[in-house]
Amino acid sequence: MTRIHIAADHGGYQLGRILADRAAASGFDVVWHGSDEPDPGDDYPIYAVRVGQATVTDQDAGLDAFAVLVVEEALAGVVAANKVNGARAVTTTSPRAAMGARAVVDANVLVLEGIAYPESAWLNLYAFVTSPMEQTVERGRQILQIEEFENAGTIEGWAVQLEPEQILRTFE
């Protein structure tokens, strides 16, 4: 079962709760990381870090897990969530973009603005958590390069070793 870690600041609280309820009703394992009531004085970085860390921890344990963060300013939430080692946060404007974010960069944190229409937000969330990453050598290599820089501060390619049969031969 897919687990979805959800949190929201004051600007996304209402939509965050709607999405959490809908995801739970659709059979997802939902973990709420936000406050119990809207708090006009809360700060989005706390929630971004909570859902990012929870998702990375679950994924490292082999669980199918994602995060959804609903905040007043989505781009700010993306920046904050991407500070978590292993989090790849994006914001999307359509289900197609959500599927692309999963396919291309194996995104694991979806950040939405609290003013989004609930149905539109749900369609983005559902597309995001049900879409796979492209299982190609190229995509895997690119994700490993991102992780290598995140962990070592370089992209030397040491993490990627291809077998001879995986290399396209065009000179024969």
**Do 7 and 76 belong together in one domain?**
yes
* pLDDT one-digit tens code per residue, 3-26: 999 999 999 999 999 999 999 999
**Do 68 and 143 belong together in one domain?**
no
Residue 171: inside a domain, yes or no? no
- The first and second tokens of residue 107, run together, are 């995104």
Residue 172: inside a domain, yes or no? no
Residue 155, pLDDT score? 80
**Do 24 and 73 belong together in one domain?**
yes
To 10 degrees, what angle do helices 74-81 and 44-60 make? 50
Supply the CATH number for residue 21's domain.
3.40.1400.10
**Do 16 and 61 belong together in one domain?**
yes
- Kindly list the distances between the CA atom of residue 13 and the CA atoms of 50, 63, 106, 123, 150, in Å, as whole numbers in the listed order: 15, 26, 26, 18, 31
Better-predicted residue by pLDDT, 168 or 60: 60
Domain count, the chain: 2
**DSSP codes joined into one string, 8-62:** E-TTTHHHHHHHHHHHHHTT-EEEE-S-SS--TT--HHHHHHHHHHHHHHHHHTT
- The first and second tokens of residue 94, run together, are 């359509």
**Do 32 and 117 belong together in one domain?**
yes
* pLDDT one-digit tens code per residue, 41-96: 999 999 999 999 999 999 999 999 999 999 999 999 999 999 999 999 999 999 99
Residue 63, pLDDT score? 98
Residue 60: inside a domain, yes or no? yes
Residue 156: inside a domain, yes or no? yes
Place 160 in a pLDDT band, splitting at 50, 70 and 90. low
Domain that holds residue 17: 3-130
